[in-house]
Structure 1
């Protein structure tokens, strides 16, 4: 597990050449550790929180200037991590950034682990676990819808929903424990079973959002498939809105697959342009076809293109039926702008990659393949297996409690079910969390977050 009693440093901006790079530091004594490295009107350790200073960063050992920088200081507990922290804005030269990082590492700082800044924020009570996870999702979001859903969690909407459920359960726990603590009372008060029912309804509602959350978090894999020269690469370029794939009338031009992310009405889609499926071909093309079949085995949906000027080749209809039996498949009759095009069979979408005719219909049809996409406007969704598993345990405990009530079981049995439900909810927000769970969550973050 991470050490939390030292000073950490990491590049917060992406590596590479840029106008400005930002280096983050945090930890007890981090401002004092910066004093000998910063030359400006004020020492970092004497600066107020939320203040800026212009100056030079130097190597304390040689006095050599490393860069002209802007230093931002944040004081505990009013910082992202809850600790004393500083951010160094320097010029974005990779060589310059590397020199600054080497100097910091040689003078009291260590390289931060992935997600360590946010882990410290969580452990210092600045964010709960749902908000910490949302930081990663905001950074990773590939579409506006995915970004909005992550922001909702970051601002605490999921936490608020969990707290509302816990309050209902806690009210019933209080009723039960009063009767358990004072059994000598002759008057027996009925337990508010309706509150358990309401909590169960809320839990089921959150569980129902899981597929929506996963869709926007992970995206879907859509494969363009078909025989050689059916127009897959042209359609790939049309989806990408740029010429990514080589388009040629020569059969077997695509030897390997290409992939690229697109936003389909807010849904992240990883699109694959694959080698044409045919018998024969040279060893390189044969390997491309093998990879095509491997990608197809993991596809969430397939768009199958047929060259409308040639029609079906031998065995192609059987291949389409085979692929469509295992996953959603959208059949497309391509090259309808050609003078020699054949009439499209029933169920096929007529398409011209050259003119764009039929493309809007294809996009709409593909969007309908994923009905979960309609939940993109939800206020709160869950998107991780950890959250789902905890809610399933909570639901099971609430159902067990209702069953115990209906059977007239002792109140202490009901209390056990309710406490188990509360504990499961506490795992979602991080009030009850094992160390290995924390390490697994934060190790997925980028360094500097």
Structure 2
């Protein structure tokens, strides 16, 4: 991927490439209003538009040229708007031929198509947001559940940025006191008492923040749940029940499902990728054997395996473990062992209890949090928080062993470096490019 050129005037469709009532095309860069005025009617209205005003008119192929579409232009002067650059956002009709004509016209007059994340990158460069907020933009777009959407919106509002800034300020106070001791002779200063409790407070704060990653990952990225079991155990029926639609073929003929089927759903706010798989049994059918191999691969990759057992069958089944939830099906025909989880995929009995058990199993080991708590979802942020915390832990250990302050200062500076990289203050250019290139075009 080429590097961003921030001197170019860029444009992109900010809404999906699909027929719709309305669509939005973004344009950003110094001088864009003057350039676009030559292809807008009335040109004077666009040129004289003040910041944060709307202008009605037509996009044309040039002065007295063919009209391409009737639009409303939202105008932002430098220092305002999403990118903090001079920019114009056109709301036009969602006709695909119309959009294609406008985009082709913009390219023809010298504007450059924006790359993924380029608008947000410019917003970051101009100080409209820090790197945690920029990442929250993409996390908000990609949110798969109301909970992950709310958490991403909170980060976009700056809650994570503020928490990190607070930790950095505390760390800076500690570091400043250490630097004073290093810069002046001992006889020039009062007896020094290292602010150890203050440093421990920073360490605790970063530990708590890092520990929320499992929650963020669960609600943001979701979980892979595989329905497994012998043939005719009721996996396809359960699959359809959990999805609340008929996706899998249900039949009394053993071996009907020969390849896995997958679909998305949500269970207690957790985004789930659900897999209906081929029944596990000995088979001489080469196609069915291949399907069973795929089932075994999926089981190995799953976050949770719901292993379905036919209550009317005496077949052997695996011992349940942390990753496997054992469920007895056909409770309408036979009783399951006492204390076990039982359902009827035919009547729907026990499905609510099963869904709750699945959610509880997926949440095991994940710290319970209130909706008001700041939660991280980015692996990059998680790793940098851990590195900063570890540097502070090393500094605390050095102080307790009465090691010279210059060595302590080195660890504190490393922690500051990690936090600076987290918010984007000292993040290398190639890392920034990698982060933003994963964004969708138009953002």
**Short-chain TM bin:** over 0.9
2:230 maps to what in 1? 227
Say whether the 8 Å CA contact 2:267–2:359 is kept in structure 1: yes
- In structure 1, distance between residues paired with 2:37 and 2:63: 13
1:345 matched to 2:340 = no
Gaps of 5+ in 2: none
1:365 maps to what in 2? 357
Relative to structure 1, the CA distance from residue 241 to residue 62 in structure 2 (aligned partners, 3 Å threshold; closer, same or farther) is: farther
1:420 matched to 2:423 = no
Quote the RMSD (CA, aligned, Å): 1.9
Deviation at 1:123, TM superposition (A): 0.7
Aligned residue runs from structure 1 range 53-64, under 5 A: 53-60=55-62, 63-64=65-66
Equivalent in 385, 394, 405 of residue 400 of structure 1? 394
- In structure 2, distance between residues paired with 1:284 and 1:425: 53
1:238 maps to what in 2? 241
Equivalent in 136, 139, 146 of residue 137 of structure 1? 139
Say whether the 8 Å CA contact 1:41–1:53 is kept in structure 2: no
1:294 matched to 2:288 = no
- Partner SS state of residue 375, structure 1: coil
- In structure 1, distance between residues paired with 2:256 and 2:39: 57
1:380 maps to what in 2? 374
TM-score (norm 2): 0.94
2:323 maps to what in 1? 328
- In structure 2, distance between residues paired with 1:255 and 1:25: 50
- In structure 2, distance between residues paired with 1:229 and 1:94: 47
Relative to structure 1, the CA distance from residue 307 to residue 408 in structure 2 (aligned partners, 3 Å threshold; closer, same or farther) is: closer
- In structure 1, distance between residues paired with 2:298 and 2:355: 21
Equivalent in 251, 256, 265 of residue 254 of structure 2? 251
- In structure 2, distance between residues paired with 1:186 and 1:159: 36
Say whether the 8 Å CA contact 1:67–1:96 is kept in structure 2: yes
The alignment of Structure 1 onto Structure 2 pairs a total of residues equal to 438
- In structure 2, distance between residues paired with 1:376 and 1:363: 21
- In structure 1, distance between residues paired with 2:160 and 2:305: 34
1:306 maps to what in 2? 309
Deviation at 1:181, TM superposition (A): 2.2
- Partner SS state of residue 127, structure 1: coil
1:18 matched to 2:20 = yes
Deviates more, 1:34-43 or 1:197-206: 34-43
Say whether the 8 Å CA contact 2:39–2:63 is kept in structure 1: no
TM-score (norm 1): 0.93
Deviation at 1:255, TM superposition (A): 2.8
- Partner SS state of residue 280, structure 1: coil
- Partner SS state of residue 399, structure 2: helix
1:442 maps to what in 2? 436
Equivalent in 415, 422, 426 of residue 432 of structure 1? 426
- Partner SS state of residue 258, structure 2: coil
Aligned residue runs from structure 1 range 23-34, under 5 A: 23-34=25-36
Say whether the 8 Å CA contact 2:38–2:62 is kept in structure 1: yes
Runs of 4+ residues over 6 Å off in structure 1: none
Relative to structure 1, the CA distance from residue 51 to residue 280 in structure 2 (aligned partners, 3 Å threshold; closer, same or farther) is: same
- Partner SS state of residue 369, structure 2: helix
